[in-house]
Amino acid sequence: MRDIAGKDITAITAEKAILRIEGLRVDRQRRTVVQDVSFSLGAGTNTALIGPNGAGKSTLIQAVLGILPRRDGEILILGQPLKRNGYLVPEVRQQIAYLPQNFLFDRRIPITVEELVGLGWDRLGFQWPWSGYRQRPRAVRQALSRVEAWHLKAQPISQLSGGETKRVLLAYCLVRPRRLLILDEAPAGLDARGESEFYQLLEELKKEQGWTILQISHDLDMVRRQCDRVLCLNRTLLCQGIPEFALSADNLAAAYGTDFVRYRHSCKR
């Protein structure tokens, strides 16, 4: 597969790829949902995964997270397999952070913002090699302060607004080093101002932390503004490349249908 410049998009070497997927196939309820998908993500890039409802976007993400088993193919994080002998490899899985579309939890659980972010430190038994477990409070404070949410530390998570919840979840991702950040329509539920602030903060953190981002989005205008590359999925990977190429009328028609392209053209008048 090639992008608009005719450059081989599989040219990212295994040593340089943060995420590398080769020949991925995922089945759900005896039906193939994702088939023969291959791509690589370089360090520090922001890649959008687009496609119509039912195209397999969430299924692909769940396979990368190790939630769904793959039927065929390979998933490599920093050149290492996600699973070994059928089990997630903790050292590999801890390189991935995930922000869901909706943060679902039992509101009866009396957990505070500070406690939630602290779980990001405790997960998989992680400890900073130079400081040990005693530095946990400092790491939590630094993460919440960076997203301007330290003042919420004692707040029950059930009382947070949508925008506050997104910031706290970003702090959860910051509390220890990670290389790959996956978002599934993460700004869902925010108003226009909240969404703009979220993406501004996300871009700042990407540069500071060196995150590689893979995000599912239906907001093609945002994708054109914010993302370096686009993966267009409809069960299989139809195209990939820079936004100017992947979001062309021909490629969108192949993924969504000609009616979708006509509708977008009409809305821009």
User: Tens digit of pLDDT for each residue in 14-41?
Assistant: 558 999 999 999 999 989 999 999 999 9
Best CA proximity match to 37, nearest among 236, 197, 248? 236
- Domain total of the chain: 2
Residues with Cβ within 8 Å of 233's Cβ and at least 6 positions away in sequence, in order, are 34, 37, 49, 50, 51, 55, 56, 57, 60, 255
User: Tens digit of pLDDT for each residue in 36-75?
Assistant: 999 999 999 999 999 999 999 999 999 999 999 999 999 9
The enclosing domain of 84 has a CATH number of 3.40.50.300
Asked if residue 169 and residue 186 are part of one domain, the reply reads: no
Q: What angle do CA 54, 86, 126 make, to 5 degrees?
A: 95
Asked if residue 187 and residue 113 are part of one domain, the reply reads: no
In this predicted structure, the answer to whether residue 138 has a pLDDT above a threshold of 50 is yes
Which segment, 97-106, 182-191, 197-206, is predicted with the most confidence on average?
197-206
Q: How far apart are CA 247 and CA 50, in angstroms?
A: 10
- The answer to whether position 4 is within a domain reads no
In this predicted structure, the answer to whether residue 6 has a pLDDT above a threshold of 90 is no
Residue 254 domain boundaries: 15-95+179-201+210-269
Predicted pLDDT at 187: 85
Work out the percent of the chain whose per-residue pLDDT is above 90. Answer: 67
Q: What is the DSSP letter of 158?
A: G
User: Tens digit of pLDDT for each residue in 139-177?
Assistant: 999 999 999 999 999 999 999 998 999 999 999 999 988
Q: How far apart are CA 5 and CA 192, in angstroms?
A: 34
Best CA proximity match to 196, nearest among 231, 233, 221, 160? 221
Asked if residue 248 and residue 134 are part of one domain, the reply reads: no
Predicted pLDDT at 10: 45
3-state helix, strand, coil in the chain (%, to 5): 40, 25, 35
- Written as six digits, the tokens of 157 are 């998570």
